[in-house]
Amino acid sequence: MKSVLMRRALSESRHFRSCGRSYSRSADACAAAADDSANTLPKMPAFRYTPPPYTGPSAADISAKRKEFLSPSMFHFYNKPVNVVHGKMQYLFDENGRRYLDAFGGIATVCCGHCHPDVVKAIVKQTQNLQHSTILYLNHAITDFAEALASKLPGDLKVVFFTNSGTEANELAMMMARLYTGSHDIISLRNAYHGNAAATMGATAQSNWKYNVIQSGVHHAINPDPYRGLFGSDGEKYAHDVEDLIQFGTSGHVAAFISEAIQGVGGIVELAPGYLPAVYSSIRKAGGLCIADEVQSGFARTGSHFWGFETQHVVPDIVTMAKGIGNGIPLGAVVTTPKVAEVLTRRSYFNTFGGNPVCTAAGLAVLQVIERENLQENANIVGSYLKQRLISLKDKHEIIGDVRGRGLMLGVELVTDRQLKTPAKAEILQVMEQMKDMGVLIGKGGFYGNVFRITPPLCFNREDADYLVDVMDYAMSKL
Q: Is the pLDDT of residue 121 over 80?
A: yes
**Amino acid sitting at position 246:** I
Q: Is the pLDDT of residue 247 over 80?
A: yes
pLDDT for position 28: 52
Asked whether the beta carbons of 52 and 46 are under 8 A apart, the reply is no
Per-residue 3-state assignment (H helix, E strand, C coil) for 179-217: HHHCCCCEEEECCCCCCCCHHHHHHCCCHHHCCCCCCCC
CATH class, domain 117-372, is: alpha beta
Give buried/exposed letters for 414-429 (b at 16+ CB in 10 A, else e). bbbeeeeeebbeebbb
Whether 26 shows a pLDDT value over 80: the answer reads no
Q: Would the CA dihedral through 91, 441, 226, 332 be positive or negative? A: negative
Q: Is 277 helix (H, G, I), strand (E, B) or coil?
A: helix
* CA–CA separation, 347 and 306 (whole Å): 34
* % of the chain beyond a pLDDT of 90: 91
Across the chain, mean pLDDT equals: 93
pLDDT for the residue 195: 97
What DSSP designation does 443 have? E
- The mean pLDDT value for 350-377 works out to 97
Q: What DSSP element (H or E) covers 400?
A: strand 400-406
Beta bridge partners of 453: 411, 443
Confidence bin at 412 (pLDDT 50/70/90): very high
Q: How confident is the model at residue 274 (pLDDT cuts 50, 70, 90)?
A: very high
End-to-end CA distance of the chain: 19
Instruction: Assess whether pLDDT exceeds 60 at residue 35.
Output: no
Q: Which residue has the higher pLDDT, 30 or 72?
A: 72
How high is the pLDDT of residue 44?
96
Alpha carbon distance 169, 320 (integer Å): 6
pLDDT of residue 22: 33
- Condensed to tens digits (0 to 9), the pLDDT of residues 449-469 reads 999 999 999 999 999 999 999
C-alpha 472, offset from chain centre: 20
pLDDT for 475 equals: 98
- Residue 23 scores a pLDDT above 70: no
The pLDDT of residue 39 is above 80: no
CATH fold for domain 2-113+374-477:
Aspartate Aminotransferase, domain 1 (3.90.1150)
How far is the C-alpha of 284 from the C-alpha of 180, rounded, in Å? 13
Whole-angstrom distance, CA of residue 214 vs CA of residue 411: 32
Tens digit of each residue's pLDDT (9 = 90 or more) over 297-330: 999 999 999 999 999 999 999 999 999 999 999 9
pLDDT at residue 40 in the model: 85
Q: Does the pLDDT value for residue 25 go beyond 90?
A: no
- Per-domain residue ranges for the chain? 2-113+374-477, 117-372
Tell me what the mean pLDDT of segment 28-57 comes to: 77
Question: Is-contact 445 453, C-beta < 8 A?
Answer: yes
Q: How many angstroms separate the Cα of 139 from the Cα of each of 32, 126, 136, 395?
A: 57, 11, 9, 55
- Segment 341-365 shows an average pLDDT of 96
